[in-house]
A and B are shown apart, each in its own frame.
Chain A
Amino acid sequence: GIQVEQSPPDLILQEGANSTLRCNFSDSVNNLQWFHQNPWGQLINLFYIPSGTKQNGRLSATTVATERYSLLYISSSQTTDSGVYFCAAEFSGGYNKLIFGAGTRLAVHP
């Protein structure tokens, strides 16, 4: 069936380290989004990236649609980067319905 898989499930970093989070999806996608869920539970839109590469400050994302994966890069991590990172994909079928991965839980220590 349609699946979105994220790795690693958990990640612990020292402040200043870099990291790469991966999202694999089982079929071609119309929409791919990355979110950060902060410790207060809010979902923050990071990237809308069905294909290509985007950068926003210390964060960047790349989606290779033909190979069915997306990567989120976090450089020079800060304690405020802690939380859970979700990718979510909309597969063909319309209506922009998102299927979420289980998330990567990131803890950045000072």
Chain B
Amino acid sequence: DAGITQSPRYKITETGRQVTLMCHQTWSHSYMFWYRQDLGHGLRLIYYSAAADITDKGEVPDGYVVSRSKTENFPLTLESATRSQTSVYFCASSTGYSRPPRNSPLHFGNGTRLTVT
């Protein structure tokens, strides 16, 4: 099915471990985004990518690494997980960044709930 899929849906890891969250989209959208959603903070942008091999920091990039070797994949890696990174992570894609003339909506995956113990 076309769409955007995230894996795993749930992940529990220990402090200091490296963990990678996967995101795959079948629309060939040029832009992809990683957000985290926390109570009291809403949705915050971690990293985004305008195309393969082009990535840029968002609002809260510290402790995260991304790559985009293929247009359809945009994995997010926590290099050394901390308890403060316990959150729900959402991947999203768009045909264009939110600026004229390419005003296009964001399409979200169902999220990965990550718990760092």
Chain A bound to chain B? no
Chain A residues close to B by CB (< 8 Å): none
Residues of B within 8 A of A (CB): none
